[in-house]
């Protein structure tokens, strides 16, 4: 391979173009219909995911699949469903949630007490079916009870996938979603209905869900939150799907949305991009918890 890094990058890009070029008309179609830009997703992941819909529709190749997509309006929702991977569960990454409960939330509350600020603003970006923001809501509820706090609490939760958000609003989960939960919290905050678990309204009502694309160019923060200024943002297991350029766009948004010294929680396999490393300091070296510096 060529020695010059720029030449190597050009060769790499043209190899990607050759291998995944057939995806572009499909991504353009999705963009035109719904305004979602998936061109920054890793091509191999897109090929795998779109390939699932190709097989499901017995199409020979991407161009045949595009015709199928154009001819069958409901196929677009099916496609969006497989591209946006909604896998999540309550208290995913147990250690990180324990650290949020034992160290991060108490530190935020202490700062708030000192500055006589009673508001607490949190955002779960890429919230899937609500497992993540509801986990946070349970932790805060526990803290409010223990410390007898009076807080003006706002938990915003956003996702690009409307179907997923509709499920989040129902707040009914299968066993696989709650298997990381402590038994004490499970019995306190859920009612069992056959094989499913329903979150109690007291917690459900703490979270405001809305549709929001992390690549939205018009709004730098979710419009429902009006001005951002979050004390804590969770953006977990979303950045991994994007190429570095798009990750940079998302970090710009995350940085802008946080209050001064606000906390950012990423997924286990995610770190700030090169440009943003100096804008965030890692708070705990064995967990992806960062603070705006």
Q: Which CB, 89 or 109, lies closer to ligand SAM?
A: 89
- Of 106-114, 182-190, 217-225, 234-242, the window that binds ligand SAM (rule: CB under 6 A) is 234-242
Residue 237 makes contact with ligand SAM by CB under 6 A = yes
Number of CB atoms found within 10 A of residue 98's CB: 13
**For residue 44, which phi and psi values (nearest 5 degrees)?**
-65, -35
Distances (CA, A) of 263 to 29, 59, 122, 147: 37, 46, 10, 21
Which one of residues 215, 259, 283, 284 is an interface residue with ligand SAM (CB under 6 A)?
A: 215
Strand order in the sheet with 196-199: 172-174, 196-199, 190-193
- Of 14-22, 48-56, 98-106, 236-244, the window that binds ligand SAM (rule: CB under 6 A) is 236-244
Residue 86 makes contact with ligand SAM by CB under 6 A = yes
Q: Give me the residue label for tokens 């530190």.
A: 107
- Of 10-18, 167-175, 184-192, 210-218, the window that binds ligand SAM (rule: CB under 6 A) is 210-218
Q: Which residues contact 60 (CB under 8 A, 6 or more apart)?
A: none
Which one of residues 135, 164, 225, 273 is an interface residue with ligand SAM (CB under 6 A)?
A: 164
For 2-30, give one letter per residue: b (16+ CB within 10 A) or e.
Answer: eeeeeeeeeeeeeeeeeebeebeebbeeb
Quick one: angle between helices 131-147 and 105-114, nearest 10?
Answer: 50
Q: Which CB, 109 or 265, lies closer to ligand SAM?
A: 265
Q: Which CB, 105 or 214, lies closer to ligand SAM?
A: 214
How far apart, in whole angstroms, are the C-alpha atoms of residue 193 and residue 279?
46
Which one of residues 69, 132, 206, 292 is an interface residue with ligand SAM (CB under 6 A)?
A: 132
Which one of residues 159, 181, 199, 257 is an interface residue with ligand SAM (CB under 6 A)?
A: 159
Residue 120 makes contact with ligand SAM by CB under 6 A = no
Q: Which CB, 113 or 219, lies closer to ligand SAM?
A: 219
Q: Which CB, 165 or 203, lies closer to ligand SAM?
A: 165
- Phi-psi group of 58: left, alpha or beta (phi > 0 → left; psi -120 to 50 → alpha; rest → beta): left
Number of residues forming the site for ligand SAM (CB under 6 A): 20
Residue 126 makes contact with ligand SAM by CB under 6 A = yes
Residues at the contact surface with ligand SAM, assessed by CB under 6 A: 84-88, 92, 126, 128, 132, 159-161, 164, 213-215, 236-238, 267
């Amino acid at each position: 391979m060529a020695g010059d890094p720029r030449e190597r990058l050009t060769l790499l890009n043209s190899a990607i173009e050759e291998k995944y070029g057939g995806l572009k008309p499909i991504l353009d179609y999705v963009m035109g219909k719904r305004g979602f830009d998936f061109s920054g997703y890793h091509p191999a992941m897109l090929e795998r995911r779109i390939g699932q819909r190709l097989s499901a529709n017995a199409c020979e190749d991407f161009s045949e699949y595009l015709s199928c997509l154009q001819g069958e309006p409901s196929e677009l929702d099916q496609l969006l469903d497989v591209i946006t991977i909604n896998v999540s569960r309550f208290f995913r990454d147990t250690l990180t949630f324990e650290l949020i409960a034992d160290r991060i939330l108490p530190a935020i509350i202490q700062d708030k007490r000192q500055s006589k600020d009673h508001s607490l603003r949190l955002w779960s970006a890429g919230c899937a079916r609500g497992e993540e923001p509801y986990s946070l809501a349970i932790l805060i509820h526990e803290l409010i009870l223990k410390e007898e706090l009076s807080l003006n609490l706002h938990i915003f939760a956003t996702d690009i996938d409307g179907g997923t958000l509709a499920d989040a609003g129902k707040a009914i989960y299968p066993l696989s979603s709650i298997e990381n939960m402590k038994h004490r919290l499970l019995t306190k905050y859920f009612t069992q209905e056959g094989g499913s678990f329903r979150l109690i309204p007291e917690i459900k009502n703490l979270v405001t869900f809305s549709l929001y694309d992390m690549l939205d160019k018009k709004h730098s923060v979710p419009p429902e939150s009006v001005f951002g200024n979050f004390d804590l943002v969770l953006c977990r297991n979303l950045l991994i799907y994007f190429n570095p350029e798009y990750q940079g766009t998302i970090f710009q948004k995350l940085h802008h949305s946080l209050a001064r010294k606000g906390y950012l929680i990423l997924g286990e396999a995610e770190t700030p991009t090169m440009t943003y490393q100096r804008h965030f300091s890692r708070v705990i070296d064995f967990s992806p918890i960062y603070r705006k510096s």
